[in-house]
Chains A and B, each alone.
Chain A
Amino acid sequence: EAGVTQSPTHLIKTRGQQATLRCSPISGHTSVYWYQQALGLGLQFLLWYDEGEERNRGNFPPRFSGRQFPNYSSELNVNALELEDSALYLCASSRGPRNEQFFGPGTRLTVL
Chain B
Amino acid sequence: EPEVTQTPSHQVTQMGQEVILRCVPISNHLYFYWYRQILGQKVEFLVSFYNNEISEKSEIFDDQFSVERPDGSNFTLKIRSTKLEDSAMYFCASSPAGAAYEQYFGPGTRLTVT
Bound together: no
Seen from chain B, the residues whose Cβ lies within 8 Å of a Cβ on chain A are: none
